[in-house]
Amino acid sequence: MKKIEAIIKPFKLDEVKNALTKIGVQGMTVNEVKGFGRQKGHTEVYRGAEYKIDFLPKVRIEMIVTDEMVVKVIETIERAAKTGKIGDGKIFVSPVEEVIRIRTGERGKDAI
Amino acid sequence: MKKIEAIIKPFKLDEVKNALTKIGVQGMTVNEVKGFGRQKGHTEVYRGAEYKIDFLPKVRIEMIVTDEMVVKVIETIERAAKTGKIGDGKIFVSPVEEVIRIRTGERGKDAI
Amino acid sequence: MKKIEAIIKPFKLDEVKNALTKIGVQGMTVNEVKGFGRQKGHTEVYRGAEYKIDFLPKVRIEMIVTDEMVVKVIETIERAAKTGKIGDGKIFVSPVEEVIRIRTGERGKDAI
Amino acid sequence: MKRVFFPLPMLGLLMANAALAAESAPALPKVDTGDTAWLLISSALVMLMTPGLALFYGGMVRSKNVLGTLMQSFMIIALISVQWVIFGYSLSFGPDRWGIIGDLSWFGLSGVGLAPNPDYAGTVPHQAFMIYQAMFAIITPALLMGAIAERMKFKTFVVFTLLWSTLVYDPIAHWVWGTGGWIRKMGGLDFAGGIVVHISSGVSALVAALLVGKRKGFGTEPMALHSLPMTITGAAILWFGWFGFNAGSAIAAGMLSTSAFVVTHIAGAGGALSWAFGEWIYKGKPTTLGAVSGAVAGLATITPASGFVGPMPALFIGLTAGIFCYMAVMGKNKFGYDDSLDVFGIHAIGGTWGALALGLFASKAINAAGNNGLFFGNPSLIAVQALSVVSAWVYSFVVTFILLKILGWTMGLRVSEEEENSGLDLSQHGETGYSF
Amino acid sequence: MKRVFFPLPMLGLLMANAALAAESAPALPKVDTGDTAWLLISSALVMLMTPGLALFYGGMVRSKNVLGTLMQSFMIIALISVQWVIFGYSLSFGPDRWGIIGDLSWFGLSGVGLAPNPDYAGTVPHQAFMIYQAMFAIITPALLMGAIAERMKFKTFVVFTLLWSTLVYDPIAHWVWGTGGWIRKMGGLDFAGGIVVHISSGVSALVAALLVGKRKGFGTEPMALHSLPMTITGAAILWFGWFGFNAGSAIAAGMLSTSAFVVTHIAGAGGALSWAFGEWIYKGKPTTLGAVSGAVAGLATITPASGFVGPMPALFIGLTAGIFCYMAVMGKNKFGYDDSLDVFGIHAIGGTWGALALGLFASKAINAAGNNGLFFGNPSLIAVQALSVVSAWVYSFVVTFILLKILGWTMGLRVSEEEENSGLDLSQHGETGYSF
Amino acid sequence: MKRVFFPLPMLGLLMANAALAAESAPALPKVDTGDTAWLLISSALVMLMTPGLALFYGGMVRSKNVLGTLMQSFMIIALISVQWVIFGYSLSFGPDRWGIIGDLSWFGLSGVGLAPNPDYAGTVPHQAFMIYQAMFAIITPALLMGAIAERMKFKTFVVFTLLWSTLVYDPIAHWVWGTGGWIRKMGGLDFAGGIVVHISSGVSALVAALLVGKRKGFGTEPMALHSLPMTITGAAILWFGWFGFNAGSAIAAGMLSTSAFVVTHIAGAGGALSWAFGEWIYKGKPTTLGAVSGAVAGLATITPASGFVGPMPALFIGLTAGIFCYMAVMGKNKFGYDDSLDVFGIHAIGGTWGALALGLFASKAINAAGNNGLFFGNPSLIAVQALSVVSAWVYSFVVTFILLKILGWTMGLRVSEEEENSGLDLSQHGETGYSF
Ligand SMILES: Nc1ncnc2c1ncn2[C@@H]1O[C@H](COP(=O)(O)OP(=O)(O)O)[C@@H](O)[C@H]1O
Ligand SMILES: Nc1ncnc2c1ncn2[C@@H]1O[C@H](COP(=O)(O)OP(=O)(O)O)[C@@H](O)[C@H]1O
Ligand SMILES: Nc1ncnc2c1ncn2[C@@H]1O[C@H](COP(=O)(O)OP(=O)(O)O)[C@@H](O)[C@H]1O
């Protein structure tokens, strides 16, 4: 099992979620984050004072998937989240050793 | 050392935290997330228009624990967070290579 | 590649970000979290009733860096985030298997 | 007692008007533009208090219950307004039956026209008096709901509100303010509703807190207020509206309304000071919630006395109100019942102390149509006040108790445990308060 | 019709004043303090409605557009106030040309002084009437903007607002309320702006929604309201202000203003009740958004009728308003155009129903300067009302259509897709609403 | 100058009243209901401005300081209300000593009754005038606090506020408005507080910003406003309340109050427009914060002039106010002191420009009890105004400087660095603003 984390543009969340459910992803956990990256922030002006805002609103999706799904999930996210403009975000893949479903106590793949 | 992540129902947070401190867990980091899963969302109606809300409020607990603690921590979370109803959430376990306490510079187990 | 997670005091965020960009870190993702740890919370009093607040506001920084950068990044965070008082926070290092830049489809180091 | 709260010299005039009105209604020229302007704007101010209260309460609940809390106040505005124009006003202010209730001859506002009714207000249209009183009937049950925040079933709430207004508020309003009401005839004084509004709602709130029971997790989980700025905003609106509540109760713009305005402001300030400083001394820090709670306590307490006492007594009343109500709220934390937003501790205690305090400080020099209190040489007033207060306590307690018991058996008072977990917003209204 | 909305017996007096004023201006003693106090506070109340509307709307958009939405209302206050004192007031209320527009002889308020103008208001300074009317001119385009929330280019918005006020609002106000206006002369009644305010903005809103087009993601993505408590607060402020809007339109404090005040409150309550209960029956849950929307519907609907009908007709009008507007809003969801905050469904429908309903329920017993409706024996009024309504619909539709077409070609109506994604706050104003 | 701001023809009457009152107090029939209604509602409006200001400021701080900011305003309401009725009113408006201060003969409001005091207001109860003035005394120190937001020690704040009101506000109020005050006797004009309120607070704010020092992180960390919608709501409440502030200062409902009302609204609109468009041109985008700041600038600037100038001068004053204050605020960014919420840039500059501008535009045609300005043929007024302004600047600067120096040595002005990090809410009040 792997953990796939995707940092995407907020307005892409629905598209990505729909694309993922279509390929059979049944669960994910999402939260709002602020991203710093190549996409430069913007300047906000409050009463003449300029504030450089380096952190931009992004959405982080976290998903545990079986090893077989990894490639498909990545592809799907890439397709759905892409605008081609800087700041589209990243996907990170990392190892997960165990998954447990609290309700049933199921372990491993069954728990996903 | 392992990282244990638990996605639970928000109103269970206090119970889980108390149960964990009782078994000796001394630190954890928590944030609010939105969960998508088997537990189907609900419909909100605004001026007659129905919106399907797929994402439900959940709380995510992240904890680094020593290898010995892993089993106990998982059991404790399972017990405290369980309602038996769909949507109780998941626990994920993944490897951690190093932990550092910023204040002291301690490394490894001492830093937890 | 490694994932470095740092839990720090909120008012240190700008300092840490600036220190990291100085050593060449080009991206990071940040979110607000609540931390429970040795730093004891405080008591809030509402109409005479006392509430023990165990969770304190913290900021979580997540960063994927190349293996070579790990040590430097950790040192930098330690330096910038340290006040020497309890509650300064932690740094966690964990493995990452793949990184993808959504915009270009780049993989691995190039995608960071 | 409202009828006579304008300068006595006008009284003769009013009677004359009344006579005239009887002969050749509508007696157009008798309406005073300044008095009418003041009563209308006061009505608007008191109307605004209920949304103000909604914010005051709404900020104190958890965010999953914010809409449920706001909705209760908003629905009460809608429900009781309709109840009032259909039969509530008639029950409260209509022709007296046995000193305890008005009859239904003003059903659907029949006979409640635009010409002044000198029984209540000789210089403004009768309907202006009616709508002003409507706002009082509205805010009273809205106050009550704070005691059982975050757990009441919406359907039961609707039925309860209608019945409570009809069976508790309307009779007590009649006793105290209606022509022929027994407390009024006995000489019991309540300028702007310490008994009618604050005692009735505060005592009923205690009953409700006891019968509906504690919130799930009360005492074990922190139930942090979700937005103190919302609560503070609500308190500010309440203070603003309270000028209409108290000074408007003079039903005229002049010396009496000015006096009521001034003492209201002073008592609000006094309550805020003493509660905040009390906390500072006792708990180490002055809180904003304490300051605004103290202000509300001071304002509630001066309410019955506001047309009878002068500025320095008002300062004393305000300062003591902050302390007494703070102590009452601390007491709750000892007794362990869940009067969630402290309706009893603030409104029942405040209303009671204010109604008694006017028995000490009232002066005919302020309001010739009132009476002198103990410190102005008349020890009997305080006895009359005490009897009025006790009657309102007992009646509110008993009727609310019976009402809630019956509703508990028939409809159920509380949402299910699962609904309580997910919050009133979602479970009762299918909505979410915020989505930042 | 405003001129004659105070007790008829005063009319002779006013004419006398007028004569006097002509002879020896300024005719100081003619200003009534009570009437002036009432009109000034009413002006302040109506002014407050536009920020209230801003909150009402602001809570309904996504948080990335909250400032853009609030800014529109705030900018309209600034822009139209200046437009109004420079030439808008003159166009609307200045000396009549051909029954369709005022001329520019009151440019820059020249000739609009502090002495009463008996054409419009005999007991208050002319400038008081002028500034009161300014507040109506302000809120009308602000209402309109709800239809095209979250996507309008700010620069175009500024130009559109100025032109729309000048070309749509000012003429219609003149027709209905200006001395010599053709609808007024025909006997068409609109006490406080059902036609002038609600129909003009509501119909134009529909045009705007059609021409500006749907929001990106409309119908496919959830567009959750970012803060219902903000919306509820806004609705409460609107209700509060509406007392000034309707009861202030009597331009005097007395029986007529009282009557308007009372029916306004009742209709608001009725609308809230019927919308919320309608939802409860039809969709299973009463929502807070439904309750406040219903209140606004009831208040908008009673507006044209508020000085002409009694309390029970008002209750009927309020209850039906909640149902009709709810149905209209449901209809929108079927037709699929994106009138984002339902300006058409609430204001055009409400204003229309109110303007027609007064043709049924109006009574000279309430307002001798008004007329009797169908149920009081005069079937002709409803025909006059229908003609007035249709004229306002057609005129608003056509002129707004042409205006937006031209602006679309020249300046562009919408922000770019990318700007829409990042939100109006950042793209149009370089700001962020919240940072908790 | 307040005494004489009602139509001159009434003055004789008032004097008569005064005589009568002396003979047979209380002289009941002399109180005008319309004037009293207007003054009471104006008092309520001005009272509401301080919570409005709290929101205006509260939205501009970081969320960890929101309660600390709101609490300052709220506590000031409580503290200064009590100070005022005990001795502040007597110092400001009581019997004159040497032209510079009132004596203590009105201590505890003794002698301040319900009969009119023709020195200040002949047609309303004396206490109505007193409570109206209380609201001005309250808002002035609340304005000041914006300069040192997010870092003041609460304990010191309490002491400072009481001393500052007593030593700075009360004397200046006496000079300008008290019977016998030297500026008033000299002929210096300040209709509603440009000098008394805005210059005194604005100049003191600069001193406070300099002595208290910059916020930790100022200039290096972004200090994002935590809720612009809160700020905008506050600005709207301020605007609403300002009608009471300026038009209420006529102490009567009539032509003068109408004129003040109208010019207030116009100047607010003008300020909003010019600041927002100034930014648009200069920085590329019009901001909502700019629009509301401009409105406040326009409103503050018209304040001293509001009972003396006509609509078109008001438009000019408003437009220039927006530009001048915007420039002043930009200037701050250059000089680098941390007047956190721009009290100096807006209130000191606005108040000064307004007090001078009335020397240009004042006209006896608007207010016979005022004077003509330069453009109406009287060049001397501007000199008198300049002297009044300079005196208020110097006095405020010096006394506030000494006061803060002493408090700095004895109690300390700032919270500790750690407390500043965790925020005022937690460190000073043990509370948290939000918990969504
Ligand atoms: N090294 C990194 N570690 C963690 N998050 C990153 C990293 N680099 C970028 N991100 C996240 O991805 C987002 C997009 O990255 P950015 O460099 O702006 O554009 P792009 O995705 O087009 O390369 C950032 O806002 C940040 O949230
Ligand atoms: N594959 C997954 N990856 C990440 N989070 C998941 C995954 N599946 C479920 N979750 C999280 O767990 C929560 C509960 O899951 P759900 O399927 O609704 O119920 P249950 O836990 O009873 O199986 C979801 O709301 C989501 O936050
Ligand atoms: N075992 C842990 N797992 C995850 N987060 C932790 C853990 N221990 C501490 N933290 C996080 O680090 C923060 C600081 O830890 P704390 O024990 O209070 O002080 P210190 O960093 O000085 O040891 C906590 O608030 C919490 O967010």
Is residue B29 within 8 angstroms of chain C, CB to CB? yes
d(CA A74, CA A25): 12
CA gap E59, E146 in Å, rounded? 11
Residue D352 to residue D373: CA distance in whole angstroms: 16
- Give E151→chain A minimum CA distance, Å: 15
- Which chain D residues contact residue E269 at CB under 8 A? 77-79, 81-82
What confidence tier does B42 reach under pLDDT thresholds 50, 70, 90?
A: confident
B3-13 pLDDT tens trace: 999 999 999 99
Residue in chain E nearest A83 by alpha carbon = E418
pLDDT number for residue D64:
96
Which residue's CA is minimally distant from atom 27 of ligand 2?
Answer: B35
Ligand 2: does its nearest atom lie under 6 Å from the Cβ of B87?
yes
Asked if A102 lies within 8 A of B88 by C-beta distance, the reply is: yes
Kindly report the average pLDDT of chain F as a whole number.
Answer: 93
Report yes or no for ipTM above 0.90.
Answer: yes
Of E255, E261, E434, the CB nearest to D131: E261
SS3 C33: strand
E strands, E198-240, in order: none
E330–B48: do the CB atoms touch at under 8 Å?
yes
How far is C112 from A89, CA to CA, in rounded Å? 10
Closest Cα to atom 8, ligand 3: which residue? B27
Cβ distance of A82 and C102 shorter than 8 Å: yes
The partner residue sitting opposite E266, judged by closest CB among D35, D70, D85, is: D85
Task: Confirm if F295 and F274 have CB atoms less than 8 A apart.
Answer: no
Give F125-171 as a DSSP string: -HHHHHHHHHHHHHHHHHHHGGGGTTTB-HHHHHHHHHHHIIIIIHH
Chain D residue with CA closest to C53: the answer is: D222
**CA–CA distance, F306 with F314 (Å, rounded to integer):** 8
In chain A, what residues touch B81 (CB-CB under 8 Å)? 102
Q: Which of D261, D283, D292 sits opposite F43 (nearest CB)?
A: D261
Residue B112 CA, ligand 2 centroid: distance in Å: 27
What residue owns the CA closest to ligand 1's atom 20?
Answer: A87
Q: A20-38: b or e for each residue (b if 16 or more CB lie within 10 Å)?
A: beeeebebbbbbbbbbbbe
Residues of E with CB below 8 A from A14's CB? 217, 220-222
Q: Which residues contact F169 (CB under 8 A, 6 or more apart)?
A: F88, F92, F137, F140, F141, F196, F200
Is any Cβ of chain B less than 8 angstroms from the Cβ of E336?
no
Q: How confident is the model at residue A42 (pLDDT cuts 50, 70, 90)?
A: confident
Average pLDDT over residues D190-199: 98
Average pLDDT of the segment spanning F354-363 = 97
Exposure string of F174-209, with b = 16+ CB inside 10 Å and e = fewer, is bbbbbbbbbbbeeebbbbbbbbbbbbbbbbbbbbbb
Report all structural domains of chain C as residue ranges with CATH numbers, in order of start. Answer: 2-111 (3.30.70.120)
* Rounded Cα distance, D321 and C65, in Å: 62
pLDDT at residue D10, as a whole number: 34
* Tens-digit pLDDT profile for residues F388-397: 999 999 999 9
Output the pLDDT for position E339.
95
- Which of D372-376, E351-355, F332-336 bottoms out in mean pLDDT, i.e. has the lowest? F332-336
Write down the number of H helices and E strands in chain F. Answer: 18, 2
The answer to whether the CB atoms of D40 and E38 lie below 8 A apart is yes
CB contact under 8 A, A100 and B81: no
SS3 F236: helix
Give percent above pLDDT 70 in chain D.
Answer: 93
Residue indicated by tokens 């045009």: E207
Look at F37 and E34 and tell me if their CB atoms are within 8 Å: yes
Partner-chain contact D421 B11, CB within 8 Å:
yes
Match 């905003």 to its residue by tokens. Answer: D233
- Top pLDDT among F89 and D24 is at F89
Residues of D in contact with E262 (CB under 8 A): 127-128, 130-131
pLDDT on residue F332: 86
Reduce the DSSP state of residue D32 to 3 states and report it.
coil
- Which phi and psi angles does C111 have, rounded to 5°? -90, -10
Query: Is F43 in contact with D244 (CB distance < 8 Å)?
Result: no
Query: Would you say residue D202 has pLDDT above 80?
Result: yes
Interface residue B42 vs chain D (CB under 8 A):
yes
CB contact under 8 A, F85 and D9: no
Ligand 3 atom at minimal distance to the Cα of residue C36: 25
Instruction: For chain B, give the mean pLDDT.
Output: 94
Q: Which ligand is nearest to the CA of A69?
A: 2
Instruction: Tell me the pLDDT tens digit for each residue of D90-128.
Output: 999 999 999 999 999 999 999 999 999 999 999 999 999
CA distance E377 to chain F (A): 39
Find chain D residues with C-beta within 8 A of C36's C-beta: none
Predicted confidence (pLDDT) per residue in D217-253, tens digit: 898 887 889 999 999 999 999 999 999 999 999 999 9
CB-based contact F342 A47, cutoff 8 Å: yes
Among F244, F343, F250, F365, smallest CA distance to F1 is for F250
Cα gap E15→E17, rounded to integer Å: 5
Q: How far is it, in rounded angstroms, from Cα E73 to Cα C70?
A: 52
- pLDDT (tens digit, 9 = 90+) per residue, C16-73? 999 999 999 999 999 999 999 998 888 888 887 888 888 999 999 999 999 999 999 9
pLDDT of chain E along its 436 residues, tens only? Answer: 333 333 333 333 323 333 333 334 444 448 999 999 999 999 999 999 999 999 999 999 999 999 999 999 999 999 999 999 999 999 999 999 999 999 999 999 999 999 999 999 999 999 999 999 999 999 999 999 999 999 999 999 999 999 999 999 999 999 999 999 999 999 999 999 999 999 999 999 999 999 999 999 898 887 889 999 999 999 999 999 999 999 999 999 999 999 999 999 999 999 999 999 999 999 999 999 999 999 999 999 999 999 999 999 999 999 999 999 999 999 887 888 999 999 999 999 999 999 999 999 999 999 999 999 999 999 999 999 999 999 999 999 999 999 999 999 999 999 999 999 999 999 999 999 999 8
Among A103, A106, A109, A112, the residue to mutate for chain B (most B Cβ within 10 A): A103
> What count of other Cβ atoms lies within 10 Å of the Cβ of residue F401?
15
Q: Are the C-beta atoms of residues E120 and E129 closer than 8 Å to each other?
A: yes
- The answer to whether residues E390 and E412 touch, using CB atoms and an 8 Å cutoff, is no
Contact D34 F29 (CB under 8 A): no
Residue A49 pLDDT more than 90? no
Average pLDDT for residues D155-184, to the nearest whole number?
Answer: 98
Map tokens 């709260």 to a residue.
D5
Determine the Cα–Cα distance for residues F79 and F155; give it in Å rounded to an integer.
Answer: 13
Distance CA D96, CA E127 (A): 47
Strands F96-97 and F101-102: antiparallel
pLDDT, residue F76, reads 98
Q: Tell whether the model's pLDDT for residue F27 goes beyond 60.
A: no
Q: Is E338 on the interface with B (CB under 8 A)?
A: no
Is E88 touching F (CB cutoff 8 A)? no
Chain B environment of C54 (Cβ under 8 Å): 17
State how far the Cα of B2 lies from the Cα of B99, in Å rounded to an integer.
10
The pair of three-digit structure tokens given for residue E387, joined into one six-digit string: 């003609």
Whether A14 and E217 lie within 8 Å, measured CB to CB: yes
**For residue A108, how far is its CA from the centre of ligand 3 (angstroms)?**
28
Q: Is the pLDDT of residue F22 over 90?
A: no
Residues β-bridged to residue E268: none
- Using pLDDT thresholds of 50, 70 and 90, give the confidence band for residue A50: confident
Mean pLDDT for chain D?
93
CB of B30 within 6 A of ligand 3: the answer is no
Which residues of chain B neighbour E289 with C-beta distances below 8 Å? 46-47
Nearest listed ligand to the Cα of residue C105: 1
Instruction: State how far residue A106 is from chain C, nearest Cα, in angstroms.
Output: 25
The rounded Å distance from CA A45 to ligand 1 centre is 25
| pLDDT tens profile C73-104 | 999 999 999 999 999 999 999 999 999 999 99
- Ligand number with the minimum distance to the CA of B34: 2
User: Which uninterrupted H or E stretch holds D295?
Assistant: helix D288-302
B31: which 2 tokens? Answer: 């944030």
Asked if residue D146 has pLDDT above 90, the reply is: yes
> What is the spatial distance between Cα F214 and Cα F218, in angstroms, rounded to a whole number?
6
| Alpha carbon of C60: minimum distance to chain B alpha carbons (Å) | 9
Q: Take residue E326 and report the two structure tokens written for it.
A: 């709810």
Q: Which chain F positions have a beta carbon within 8 Å of A51's beta carbon?
A: 222-224
- Binned at pLDDT 50, 70 and 90, residue A39 comes out as confident
pLDDT at E15: 31
Contact E300, E140 (CB under 8 A): no
Span F115-120, mean pLDDT? Answer: 94
pTM for the model stands at 0.94
Give the residue whose CA is nearest to atom 12 of ligand 3.
C89
